[in-house]
């Protein structure tokens, strides 16, 4: 047994801790932890660094994630569904080359409000690479991710993860007398907290385990034509397995529920479309990307989407 594993067993820190108003730290037995708070969830890894100090390291996400599929209906066009991009200043560019670099177009106009769903934009071009950038209003440099479209996809789901920088910073705590005493300057609001045993049957712990399992297996997204996710963490086990009721249809490049699918329904939009899971598309993650910070860009102020309340 390793020294770290021995220390973990000796400390027995596994449990739930109320660390802030509305925030709960859950330390799991497999080296994972999750903080549930009103704004969402932070996940990461924990380890014992000495006899009674616990180091917590948040999982770091890229600012953007991109998934793609082949869609024969688009022919020579390409389309992108933008998810979460309305929360920050976000920009995009297609097909960057050495002679055409960093002309970043706004995705949403300045002052956009009253958002609806979904935001899908069709570009009249095929795609070799796709660039995304986010920046604060007072920043000169932008964080640019360039995804290489090696598979030749033309139908994409782009996700802005909106992870704040502080959410990626590690923190530590002293464990003594079944209590965590937090140290460090990055999380001053965390309160010392006494351990409460994990309630495995609670909705919170069930949610955390399903969420972390989904995060570990997120190379593929299954969505219907209205971009409602199949097999999400809110689904029961029976409806998380795409092979349970669906068969893959090569012609449509989609999974079809042969008992409920009606030919051509993917081209219609009605009140039931969002919840209709008769046809499901598979989007695969693009892993070939480069990341850099740069101030060598210009902004195209005309946004892809113009959103304003009157």
The mean pLDDT of the chain is: 87
Give the pLDDT band of residue 38 (cuts 50, 70, 90). Answer: confident
DSSP the chain: --HHHHHHHHH---EEEEEETTEEEEE-TTSEEEEEETTEEEEEEEEE-SSSEEEEEEPP--SEEEEEE--GGGTT-EEEEEESGGGS-EEEEES-BTTB--EEEESB-TT--S--S-EEEEESS--SEEEEEE--TT-SSEEEEEEE-TT---EEEEEE----GGGG--EEEEEETTEEEEESSS-TTPPPEE-B---TTSHHHHHHHHHHHHHHT-SEEEE-TT-PBTT-TTS-GGGT-TTTT-EEETTTTEEE-TTT--TTGGG---TTGGG--SEEEEEEE---EEEEEE---EEE-S-SB-----
- Whether 178 shows a pLDDT value over 90: the answer reads yes
Query: Which of 256, 267, 260, 200 has its CA nearest to residue 230?
Result: 256
Going along the chain from its start, the domains and CATH numbers come out as: 3-60+165-213 (2.40.128), 64-163+216-300 (no CATH)
Distance of CA 84 to the CA centre of its chain: 9
Strand partners, 103: 298
Rg (CA), the chain: 22
Ranges 95-104, 132-141, 149-158, 266-275: which has the least confidence: 95-104
Instruction: Give me the pLDDT at residue 241, please.
Output: 83
Statement: residue 3 has pLDDT above 60: no
The pLDDT, as a whole number, for residue 293 is: 82
Task: Compare 92 and 191 and report the one with higher pLDDT.
Answer: 92
More confident residue, 244 or 189: 244
pLDDT for residue 239: 61
Q: Residue 70's pLDDT band (boundaries 50, 70, 90)?
A: very high
Q: Beta 103-106 vs 298-300: how paired, if at all?
A: parallel
Distance in angstroms (rounded) separating the CA atoms of residues 190 and 113: 33
Contact partners, residue 117, CB within 8 Å, separation at least 6: 227
The whole-number average pLDDT for the span 132-154 is 87
Which band of pLDDT confidence, cut at 50, 70 and 90, is reported for residue 22?
confident
Region 187-212 average pLDDT = 87
Judge contact between 53 and 173, C-beta under 8 A: yes
256-284 residue pLDDT tens: 999 999 999 999 999 899 999 999 999 99
What are the pLDDT digits (tens) for 285-306? 999 999 888 777 888 889 999 9
Given its phi and psi angles, is residue 95 left (phi above 0), alpha (psi -120 to 50 degrees) or beta? left
Lowest mean pLDDT among 2-11, 26-35, 63-72, 292-301: 2-11
Length of the chain: 310
Given this model, what pLDDT does residue 100 score? 57
Residue 8, pLDDT > 80, answer no
How confident is residue 185, by pLDDT bands cut at 50, 70 and 90?
Answer: low
Is the predicted pLDDT of residue 63 greater than 60, yes or no?
yes
Q: Residue 61: pLDDT band by 50, 70, 90 thresholds?
A: confident
Residue from 104, 72, 75, 73 nearest 90 by CA: 104
Q: What average pLDDT score do residues 181-189 get?
A: 74
Is the pLDDT at 238 greater than 60, yes or no?
no
Could you tell me which residue, 100 or 159, shows the higher pLDDT?
159
The answer on pLDDT for 2 being more than 50 is no
Q: How far apart are the first and last CA of the chain?
A: 65
Q: Which one is predicted more confidently, 63 or 78?
A: 78
Residue of higher predicted confidence among 91 and 62: 91
């Amino acid at each position: 047994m390793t020294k770290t594993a021995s220390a973990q067993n000796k400390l027995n820190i596994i449990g739930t801790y109320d660390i802030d108003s509305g925030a709960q730290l859950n330390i799991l037995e497999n080296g994972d932890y999750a903080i549930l708070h009103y704004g969402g969830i932070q996940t990461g890894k924990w380890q014992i660094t000495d006899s009674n100090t616990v180091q917590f390291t948040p999982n770091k996400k890229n600012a953007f994630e991109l998934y793609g599929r082949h869609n024969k209906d688009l022919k020579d066009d390409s389309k992108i569904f933008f998810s979460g991009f309305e929360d920050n200043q976000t920009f995009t560019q297609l097909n960057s080359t050495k002679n055409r670099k960093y002309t970043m177009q706004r995705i949403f106009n300045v002052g956009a409000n009253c958002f609806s769903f979904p935001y899908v934009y069709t570009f009249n071009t095929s795609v070799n690479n796709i660039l995304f950038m986010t920046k604060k209003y007072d920043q000169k440099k932008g964080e640019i991710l360039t995804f290489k479209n090696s598979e030749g996809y033309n139908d994409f789901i782009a996700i802005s993860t909106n992870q704040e920088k502080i959410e990626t910073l590690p923190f530590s705590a002293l464990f003594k007398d079944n209590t965590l005493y937090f140290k460090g300057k990055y999380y001053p609001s965390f309160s010392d907290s006494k351990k409460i045993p994990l309630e495995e049957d609670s909705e919170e712990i069930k949610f955390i385990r399903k969420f972390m399992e989904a995060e570990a297996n997120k190379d593929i997204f299954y969505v219907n034509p209205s971009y409602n996710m199949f097999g999400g963490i809110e689904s029961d086990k029976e409806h998380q397995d795409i092979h349970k009721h669906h068969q893959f249809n090569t012609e449509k490049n989609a999974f079809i529920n042969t008992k409920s699918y009606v030919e051509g329904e993917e081209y219609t939009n009605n009140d039931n479309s969002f919840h209709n899971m008769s046809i499901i598309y598979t989007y695969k993650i693009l892993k070939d990307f480069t990341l850099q910070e740069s101030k060598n860009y210009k902004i195209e102020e005309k946004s892809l989407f113009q959103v304003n309340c009157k």
